[in-house]
Homo-oligomer: A and B are copies of this chain.
Amino acid sequence: MPTYSWHAIPKDVVPNSSLPAGMSRQSIVGERSMLCMHEAFPNLKCKPHQHDAEQFSIMLQGRMRFVVGSETFVLGPGEIAHIPSGVEHSIESLDEYVLVLDVFAPLRPDILARLKEIGA
């Protein structure tokens, strides 16, 4: 059984096609789902994007504004967003450091390609 520790998982901090500047990502890849722990600096805006994978964003620290289609929500610790497959969304961290655990299902090819690129 594979086991993981967040502190031992490489942190990707270099902006790339799947990771905006000012964010970091640690990824754990399963068969049909993947976990990505994301950090964001305060007051960071990510432009709209979409992916075939559905997304759960599980807020752990700080507050983030989600714009999903025409809807806007601000979520904080203990709250969860579900972004269905293929729906365009953007996010914005508010005035604090943000830590959010994202679950994607199925796997995101763009993140898999990036993991291969960095040898993770």
Q: Closest approach, in angstroms, between the C-beta of A76 and any C-beta of chain B?
A: 9
The A interface is mostly helix, strand or loop, or mixed, namely strand
| Beta-carbon contact of B6 and A78 below 8 Å | yes
Q: Which residues of B contact A30 (CB under 8 A)?
A: 54, 56, 82, 84, 105
Instruction: Give chain A interface residues in 1-21, CB to chain B under 8 Å.
Output: 1-7
| Beta-carbon contact of B1 and A69 below 8 Å | yes
Given that A30-B54, A56-B28, A103-B103 are contacting pairs, would A3 and B35 also be in contact in the complex, using a CB cutoff of 8 Å? no
Instruction: Give chain A's interface residues, CB within 8 Å of chain B.
Output: 1-7, 28, 30-33, 35, 54, 56, 58, 66, 68-69, 71, 73, 75, 78-85, 87, 89, 101, 103, 105-106
